[in-house]
Homo-oligomer: A and B are copies of this chain.
Amino acid sequence: MSGSSILRGKVVIAQGGGPTVVINQSLVGAVLELRKFPGVTRVWGALHGVQGIIKEKFLDLSEAENTNLEKVAQTPSAALGSTRDRPDIKYCQSILNVFQKHNVRYFFYIGGNDSSETVRIIKEYADQQGYAMRAVHIPKTVDNDLPVTDHCPGYPSAAAFVTYAFAGLNADNIALPGVHIAVVMGRHTGWLTAAAALARKHNDDGPHLIYLPERRFSIEKYLSDVDNVYRQHGRCVVAVSEGVWTSCDSEGKEIPVSVDLMRVSGCEPDTDAHGNIHLAGGKLAEQLAKIVKHKFGVKRVNGDTFGYIQRSFPGLVSSIDTREAREVGEKAVQYACGENMNGSVVIKRIGDYSVQYDLVDIREIASKTRYMPDRFINADGNNVTEEFRKYLYPLLGINIPNIERLSAPELPIA
């Protein structure tokens, strides 16, 4: 990870992937920290991630004023713009050409799995070419699915949104009983959906059932679970990851649950140009609601899909997340410019609750996915464990909504 001597040259910093509410804390943390290092001649912000690098679209962040930066830090979504581009070798060669042309010696990329892979390819290619540079990946993803790190900046705030949303939906469901299904982001892992569990306060609070992509989803089991909860409580709140799947195709690829659901309900699934099932737009929630209504004849059955607001809602930000997102940006700069190192910044949890930061080899992170461990999922595969609640609780950095029930004697009239 460590290089030989402190380099002198420009910095390029960029943001990639889906926005979070704290991603600009990392940007601002890095930009302000960079001002402390004399080897840094100029700080350029690439517009729309790697796209901005190959198109040579940069903002000169050396000129950005602190008052502006501090307000940007509190603004959700990537202030430099983002991209969904996943550079291949050729794309990374173009990036390196731009770096060489402008004497860029430091590259910081704030992002998730794809962005870490980009950092890996560029750094390896630079090494092959004998171009001395430092490259550090600054972690960010509401999916919380980067390996090694205890958790990913962006996740705690999105988790707080999900917790609050389910506290509200559960209170709504008590007032107007029925079955309510809400679909949460998470195509491959259940971290964000699992946050729904923290909305529970009383024994009969929802979400009563939580389905995660870490477990195979069975429609029969789902129906019998909902039936059991409904018989017990007269209502049921369900949290479902958008990425739940029922079976694998002949190549071992997971088939999203919507395909089976559509088969059951007699609809044709929508597919994109690559034949992938289109899960967005409320289809999964709708189908899961429809099948409950059809099977049990429950009158009130509703399906919601949280959509994009869960990752960019400016009304609820974890104070822990805010500070840590800032600090991973600062630490990345210290590692690269102060200690001449490359890699990916990770968060280590100390006790209950503090953190330390570390830098790990980018190959330990790049393109890898961390699933929820078994100890966080119940034996039945339809809920999370108390251990998961203890894992998430200190990250929320905000009071869990205090849902209070009326406490007054019921009259013995009827």
Chain A residues close to B by CB (< 8 Å): 15, 18-19, 21, 44-45, 47-48, 55-61, 63-65, 68-69, 71-72, 74-84, 102, 160-161, 164-165, 167-169, 171-172, 174-176, 180, 182, 280-283, 285-286, 289, 302-309, 311-316, 401-411, 413-414
Residues of B within 8 A of A83 (CB): 176
Residues of B within 8 A of A175 (CB): 15, 19, 48, 77-79, 81-82
On whether the beta carbons of A404 and B74 are closer than 8 Å, the reply is yes
In the docked arrangement, what's the CA distance between A169 and B165, Å? Answer: 17
On whether the beta carbons of A409 and B315 are closer than 8 Å, the reply is no
- Contact residue among B77, B80, B282 (Cβ-Cβ distance under 8 Å from A305): B282
Sample (8) of A-B pairs whose CB atoms are under 8 Å apart: A58-B413, A60-B409, A71-B402, A75-B403, A76-B171, A82-B175, A281-B302, A306-B307
On whether the beta carbons of B171 and A406 are closer than 8 Å, the reply is no
In the docked arrangement, what's the CA distance between A404 and B24, Å? Answer: 11
Chain B CB within 10 A, most for which of A161, A176, A285, A409: A176
On whether the beta carbons of B286 and A406 are closer than 8 Å, the reply is no
On whether the beta carbons of A315 and B59 are closer than 8 Å, the reply is no
On whether the beta carbons of A408 and B285 are closer than 8 Å, the reply is no
On whether the beta carbons of A403 and B314 are closer than 8 Å, the reply is yes
Contacts known (A168-B21, A169-B312, A172-B19); A410 close to B55, Cβ less than 8 A: no
A82 CB to closest chain B CB (Å) equals 4
- Contact residue among B18, B59, B312 (Cβ-Cβ distance under 8 Å from A408): B59
- Contact residue among B172, B289, B411, B413 (Cβ-Cβ distance under 8 Å from A281): B289
In the docked arrangement, what's the CA distance between A219 and B287, Å? Answer: 26
In the docked arrangement, what's the CA distance between A414 and B94, Å? Answer: 14
**Interface contacts beyond A72-B406, A75-B404, A82-B176: sample of 16 additional A-B pairs, CB < 8 Å, sorted by A:** A45-B408, A47-B410, A48-B175, A56-B411, A60-B409, A61-B408, A68-B404, A76-B171, A164-B315, A169-B309, A171-B312, A180-B308, A280-B302, A281-B286, A302-B307, A314-B401
